[in-house]
Structure 1
């Protein structure tokens, strides 16, 4: 869906992509984030200087590289937090006791950002649907409400830190369009660098999004899928029963055939003995 802003990976600028995909626009550049990082570095330097500029700790601090950015394009959680604060947005750790005690269903949130080994990406609700806006993907990935909690749990198991976004996100075109309609995804996006044969197969619908004719209850979809699965099992069971019945029938026919042959052979042996008896009797009568 063209209205969804999705910034793809360039170098190691995933923090920039994460923020822009969250805000749905080109709101931050590497220069903007570098300025925030430098400001944080200066604030840390000033705090360290309070202990004495001649101290060993201060000299060691000056020799260390910045913890808020590096030459590859990495930016720290502090940089992201300060960048979001400009928009009145706050980060809350998803698995913290304070947040978990609220017992909030994830589908009732607005967005999440996730981090693992210096890679950042956004999961955001647009309209009434959730999308994985990972910059490493070739496009947005639709996530159903029923799968969202499982997806977040999977990320946690893989070692991701997950943060809930609190506050009012800026308005965007995708939010307005998806607020009045829903879409389905015919083909899941792949990781950048993988073969993208689905793009050719899908023609104009690059990422495989189509507008739903009607709003479908995902729980009902799940129930129908389970029902169909049970029907398939029943059909398989019936087919197995039929195959066993046919096999037993064939075995019965073979057994019956064998018995008939034995009976005919027995009859043939009896008739032959009778004939021999009659012939012997006739022979004795002629004598």
Structure 2
């Protein structure tokens, strides 16, 4: 917990997917062991599991995140970055998970390598927060328009940056995370 009463796990090894999930859920729901178990369930016959680092330090892929969310009754909806963020009904998702480029560093030394990093964003008690595990504490983003700006900036960092909307099964089925001219889309 940070000073504002928000749950916030800090980066450890390559466990950003676990931290992003827990920060999004605002509780310590997942661990390295539970994420490794999900990897085994996804590829039970694999000697070298394709869903995590060969070294066993984490670096979990999107399949692990999606399976973890399913275990909590949630769904991940991939945001098509060709769509304007103005079409996003930001109040419908439980939160957001970004996959963005991140520099690799050893202490104060920044290496010329880039890895992928999972980041959670969620509305808590009014404003939206950046719950990135690489931050010392959560950073307040603000309201809906500030969130759209933040998400747009993150997606523009790299052409491979991705955004997942974390939604309930009902919101996924309705498609109500998408705004139409008449309001949230309902299938």
Normalising by structure 1, report the TM-score: 0.48
Cα deviation, residue 100, structure 1:
6.4
Residue in 2 that maps onto 1:139: 137
- Alpha-carbon spacing, 1:74–1:21, altered in 2? closer, same or farther (3 Å): same
**Correspondence list, 1:12-23, <5 A:** 12-23=14-25
* Aligned twin of 2:165: 164
Given the alignment of the two structures, is residue 82 of structure 1 paired with residue 55 of structure 2, yes or no?
no
Question: Does the Cα contact within 8 Å between 2:129 and 2:140 map onto a contact in 1?
Answer: yes
Assess, with a 3 A threshold, how the Cα gap between structure 1 residues 101 and 9 changes in structure 2: closer, same or farther.
closer
Mapped to 2, the partners of 1:19 and 1:123 lie a distance apart of 10
Taking the aligned partners of 1:157 and 1:96, their CA distance within structure 2 comes to 9
Counterpart mapping for 1:158-237 below 5 A: 158-159=157-158, 160-167=161-168
Question: Cα distance, 1:102 vs. partner?
Answer: 9.7
Does the residue aligned with 1:35 lie in a helix, a strand or coil? Answer: helix
Shift of the alpha carbon at 1:132?
0.3
User: What is aligned with 1:285?
Assistant: none
How far apart are residue 126 of structure 1 and its match?
0.8
Does 1:73 find its partner at 2:58? yes
Whole-Å Cα distance in 1 between the matches of residues 10 and 75 of structure 2? 24
In structure 2, the gaps of 5 or more residues are 101-114, 170-187
Q: How many residues align?
A: 148
Single out whichever of 157-166 and 129-138 deviates more from structure 2: 157-166
Q: Residue in 1 aligned with 2:89?
A: 105
**TM-aligned CA deviation for residue 37 of structure 1:** 0.2
- Provide the C-alpha distance between the structure 1 equivalents of 2:33 and 2:132, rounded to a whole number of angstroms: 22
Shift of 1:101: 10
Q: Is the 8 A contact 1:107 1:148 kept in 2?
A: no
Instruction: Give the 3-state SS of the residue equivalent to 1:106 in structure 2.
Output: coil
Q: What is the CA deviation profile of residues 10-59 of structure 1, one whole-angstrom value per residue up to 9, with x for unaligned ones?
A: 111111100110111111110000000011112xx4xxxxxxxxxxxxxx
What is the deviation of 1:74? 1.0
Structure having the larger proportion of residues in strand: 2
Runs of 4+ in structure 1 deviating by more than 2 angstroms, as ranges, are 99-110
Once residues 29 and 74 of structure 2 are traced to their aligned partners in structure 1, the CA distance between those partners, rounded to angstroms, is: 14
Q: Is the 8 A contact 1:131 1:141 kept in 2?
A: yes
Structure 1 contact 113–120 (Cα < 8 Å) conserved: yes
> Distance in 1 between the 2:65 and 2:140 partners?
24
Structure 1: how far apart are the matches of 2:8 and 2:21?
Answer: 11
